[in-house]
Amino acid sequence: MDALVARSLSKMYRGRHRTVPALDNVDMTIAKGRLFAFLGRNGAGKTTFIKISSALLMPTAGSVQLFGVDVVDHAREVREQIAIVPQEGKPFYHLTPREHVEEYLRVRGASAETARTRADEILEGMGMLPYEEIPAMVLSGGLQQRTLVAMVLATEAPFLFLDEPTLGMDPFARRQVWEVIRRAARKGSTVLLTTHYLDEAEQLSEELAVIEGGHVLYQGEAEALKSKVRREVRLQFGYGFTAQELASYGEVYAERNGLTLLTTRNHVEELTRRALERKIAVHIGPVTLEEAFLTLVGRAIEDEDPGALA
């Protein structure tokens, strides 16, 4: 059985001043036990999808089923299966990270014994033992965020929603959190996380979906996304070429030391020859996920009808 199935899901925020279509006819399937990432710019609709799926927001149309249970009609059953790190959530002022983890687990029905062992495990895994007895109000923003992630991951709930879980963390902390998220998935939880960090999506997720303007532009593996944009190589040129000269070969970006071109393999020989003739330095490498993402989303924005690419 699939862990999450969304069908024709739409959400319109109706405000006094304007109506915002945050999700438009989204279909999505997430297999059980999967570590799944939503990738998208700010305002793409990631949080809206998470809130509807975790029974925190009503959809305008369409449906979401979690383990076969409809989230609109059976919120109570759905809530028993989930835990969520909300975007921009914050911990209690006066409680320590250990108290957050233990008390949250006990409120969810765990025994004192289980709460203690799981707290030991998660705080260790997230490198939080040095801070476990410090009230959250004097912890840095990154540590407060880690506290929330710790209390939610410790639940080992069948479905974990993590909305921007590593926001505000340093690169070391992020890697520790990634490892704990992977561990949760290995233990059998299905994880849906959102991020706008490309490296996070690439390192962490087994599968990802790219969302833009309430549309799903892509769903699949990170590697396959790179080939989907049909750009296989990246050529970095020193100063010398103009952007117009290169535009017909693919996507051109201005960078600190010159121009970067994303293109296909068959152009490599010709372009390197021309660069060498004009004594322009050239550097050849693979396309990164970030470049694939920028290309995909960039085309969708230019298209004005992003659905066409889905």
Ligand X SMILES: Nc1ncnc2c1ncn2[C@@H]1O[C@H](COP(=O)(O)OP(=O)(O)O)[C@@H](O)[C@H]1O
166 binds Mg ion (CB under 5 A): no
Which of 7, 41, 74, 108 is the binder for another protein (CB under 8 A)? Answer: 108
Neighbours of 148 (CB within 10 A): 22
54 binds Mg ion (CB under 5 A): no
Report whether 57 contacts 86 (CB < 8 A): no
135 binds another protein (CB under 8 A): yes
Minimum distance from residue 19 beta carbon to ligand X (Å): 9
DSSP codes, 185-214: HHTT-EEEEEES-HHHHHHH-SEEEEEETT
The token duo for 240 is: 């010398």
Q: How many residues bind another protein (CB under 8 A)?
A: 38
94 binds another protein (CB under 8 A): yes
Which of 73, 90, 257, 270 is the binder for another protein (CB under 8 A)? Answer: 90
Return the range that interacts with ligand X (CB under 6 A); candidates 39-47, 71-79, 129-137, 290-298.
39-47
E strand or H helix at 161: strand 159-163
Instruction: Give CA–CA dist 230/85, Å, rounded.
Output: 35
Q: What's the chain's Rg over C-alpha atoms? A: 22
Instruction: Give CA–CA dist 126/149, Å, rounded.
Output: 9
Q: Could you say which of ligand X, another protein, Mg ion, none residue 90 binds, taking C-beta under 5 to 8 angstroms by partner kind? A: another protein
Report whether 165 contacts 85 (CB < 8 A): yes
Q: How many residues bind ligand X (CB under 6 A)?
A: 12
E strand or H helix at 62: strand 61-66
Shorter beta-carbon distance to Mg ion: residue 50 or 180: 50
306 binds ligand X (CB under 6 A): no
Return the range that interacts with ligand X (CB under 6 A); candidates 44-52, 140-148, 178-186, 202-210.
44-52
Return the range that interacts with ligand X (CB under 6 A); candidates 25-33, 41-49, 94-102, 282-290.
41-49
123 binds another protein (CB under 8 A): no
Residues within window 48-67 making contact with ligand X, judged by CB under 6 A = 48
Q: Could you say which of Mg ion, another protein, ligand X, none residue 55 binds, taking C-beta under 5 to 8 angstroms by partner kind? A: another protein
On the CB side of 272, CA atoms within 13 Å amount to 13
Terminal alpha carbon distance of the chain: 25
Which of 40, 59, 91, 165 is the binder for ligand X (CB under 6 A)? Answer: 40
Return the range that interacts with another protein (CB under 8 A); candidates 17-25, 98-106, 123-131, 296-304.
98-106
Instruction: Give CA–CA dist 40/9, Å, rounded.
Output: 17
Q: Could you say which of another protein, ligand X, Mg ion, none residue 91 binds, taking C-beta under 5 to 8 angstroms by partner kind? A: another protein
| Cα-based distances in Å from 113 to 122, 129, 149, 191 | 14, 18, 21, 25
Minimum distance from residue 286 beta carbon to another protein (Å): 39
